[in-house]
């Protein structure tokens, strides 16, 4: 696949080389080897150089990938409707969006919440990338200037005692993962070392939580020697942090992912890690550090377990198809089919992309976590997939 990728221009090549030099410096400082999760953290989030921290376009046609809010505003409209229901039922008046990307989902959701007369008092955004924060501010100033005074960017999660609705679209898949390989005499942890002017993937005996996790998998399943996959300890950490801060409210998590049994099936023998560069997907995370996205699917069983430990109810878990249909995406589409035939056809095609099982509909899941006193919204009435977790 890699040889079909477009060549980066000289500025992008130079940028990537600077990040490789920084990673090599870190490798040397760590005694010759960095865990894959540490490598991924630097590749995506190293200040000024990581993929999400630096200036690459990332989202949309000019970037590397598209997310649901870019495909159709109806995604954000439906999600806003569900958030409004939870705000009303719970009496909460705050929304916290994690990882707001381009800011488009925030803009479209704020407009819909305004239309529904359920504007939150504050719309908080926790965005670790200064570059993306800047872009979010710019887009919101253009799209919703009258609502900008409700938007507050946070440097870290709020303090304990928070009440509100948290929403994260495609954030869990962007958190660093630990990678492992099942060796003939035990689990190995994959990591990164220096190789000439570049980087190479190398393995060491797994230790601690990763070793325990891989060994538990082997005892449960018949996985072959050489089997590789990954586990996201950072996702469980984030859920624990949300559990600690949320007194009352709910968390909507939307991402591509699977139950643990499907995630770690023998057929998926190279895991779920993928890289995205100019709309090409490939499997080499060392290829263009800093100028390509690196992502892994979400193990929703693990997220659900972390949620229960953190004191949440796993109130709902379903496919994006069912969530959007039950949130009224078809009616919303009909309402907007008032333009030209070309425009109407385009909108229908966007909704098909979001909802068809062969497109994003089945691969993407929506999980709702709630505190004890908060009821789920109507978008989860259709297909309850919690039995699969």
Ligand X SMILES: C[S@@+](CC[C@H](N)C(=O)[O-])C[C@H]1O[C@@H](n2cnc3c(N)ncnc32)[C@H](O)[C@@H]1O
- Interacting residue ranges for ligand X, rule: CB under 6 A: 52, 59, 67, 69, 98-102, 105, 126-129, 132, 169-171, 174-175, 238
Closer residue to ligand X (CB): 67 or 72: 67
Which tokens hold the place of 42? 């630097």
Closer residue to ligand X (CB): 99 or 191: 99
Q: How far is the CB of 221 from ligand X (least distance, A)?
A: 29
Q: How far is the CB of 99 from ligand X (least distance, A)?
A: 2
Closer residue to ligand X (CB): 66 or 314: 66
Q: How far is the CB of 359 from ligand X (least distance, A)?
A: 16
Closer residue to ligand X (CB): 194 or 319: 319
Q: Which of 22, 102, 35, 89 is nearest to 62 (CA)?
A: 102
Q: How far is the CB of 201 from ligand X (least distance, A)?
A: 23
Residue nearest to ligand X as judged by C-beta position: 99
**HSE value, Cβ hemisphere, 13 Å, CA-based, for 370:** 16
Identify whether the C-beta of residue 262 lies closer than 8 Å to the C-beta of residue 362. no
Q: How far is the CB of 128 from ligand X (least distance, A)?
A: 5
Q: How far is the CB of 274 from ligand X (least distance, A)?
A: 12
E strands present in the chain: 34-35, 94-98, 122-126, 151-154, 162-169, 178-183, 186-195, 198-205, 228-231, 246-258, 274-277, 280-282, 293-295, 298-299, 313-319, 364-370
- How far apart CA 153 and CA 31 sit, in angstroms, is 37
Quickly tell me which residue has 């591509």 as its tokens: 256
**HSE value, Cβ hemisphere, 13 Å, CA-based, for 33:** 9
Beta bridge partners of 124: 96, 152
Closer residue to ligand X (CB): 52 or 213: 52
Closer residue to ligand X (CB): 39 or 52: 52
58: left (phi over 0), alpha (psi -120 to 50) or beta: left
Q: Is 26 exposed, middle or buried, given 0-12, 13-18 or 19+ CB atoms closer than 10 A?
A: middle
Q: How far is the CB of 107 from ligand X (least distance, A)?
A: 12
Q: How far is the CB of 195 from ligand X (least distance, A)?
A: 28
Closer residue to ligand X (CB): 100 or 223: 100
247: left (phi over 0), alpha (psi -120 to 50) or beta: alpha
Closer residue to ligand X (CB): 100 or 210: 100
């Amino acid at each position: 696949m890699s040889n079909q990728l477009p060549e980066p221009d000289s500025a992008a090549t130079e940028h990537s080389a600077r990040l490789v030099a920084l990673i090599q410096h870190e490798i040397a400082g760590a005694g010759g080897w960095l865990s894959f999760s540490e490598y991924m953290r630097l590749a995506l989030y190293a200040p000024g150089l990581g993929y999400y921290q630096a200036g690459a376009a990332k989202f949309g046609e000019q970037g590397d990938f598209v997310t649901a809010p870019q495909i159709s505003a109806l995604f954000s409209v439906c999600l806003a409707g569900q958030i409004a229901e939870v705000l009303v039922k719970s009496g909460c008046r705050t929304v916290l969006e994690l990882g707001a990307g381009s800011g488009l989902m925030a803009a479209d959701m704020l407009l819909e919440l305004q239309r529904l007369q359920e504007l939150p008092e504050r719309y908080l955004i926790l965005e670790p990338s200064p570059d993306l924060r800047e872009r979010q501010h710019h887009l919101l100033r253009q799209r919703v200037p009258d609502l900008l005074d409700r938007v507050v960017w946070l440097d870290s999660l709020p303090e304990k005692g928070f009440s509100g609705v948290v929403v994260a679209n495609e954030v869990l898949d962007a958190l660093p993962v630990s990678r492992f390989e099942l060796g003939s005499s035990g689990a190995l942890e994959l990591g990164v070392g220096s190789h000439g002017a570049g980087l190479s993937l190398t393995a060491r005996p797994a230790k601690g939580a990763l070793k325990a996790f891989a060994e538990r998998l082997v005892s449960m399943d018949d996985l072959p020697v050489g089997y590789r996959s990954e586990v996201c300890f950072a996702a469980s950490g984030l859920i624990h942090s949300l559990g600690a801060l949320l007194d009352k409210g709910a968390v909507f998590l939307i991402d591509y992912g699977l139950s643990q049994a499907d995630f770690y099936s023998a057929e998926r023998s190279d895991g779920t890690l993928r890289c995205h560069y100019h709309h090409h997907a490939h499997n080499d995370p060392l290829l263009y550090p800093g100028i390509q996205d690196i992502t892994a699917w979400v193990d929703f069983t693990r997220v659900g377990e972390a949620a229960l430990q953190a004191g949440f109810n796993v109130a709902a878990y379903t496919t994006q198809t069912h969530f959007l249909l039950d949130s009224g995406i078809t009616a919303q589409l009909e309402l907007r089919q008032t333009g030209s035939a070309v425009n109407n056809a385009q909108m229908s095609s966007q909704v098909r992309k979001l909802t068809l099982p062969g497109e994003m509909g089945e691969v993407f899941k929506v999980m709702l976590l709630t505190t004890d006193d908060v009821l789920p919204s109507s978008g989860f009435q259709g297909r309850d997939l919690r039995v699969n977790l």
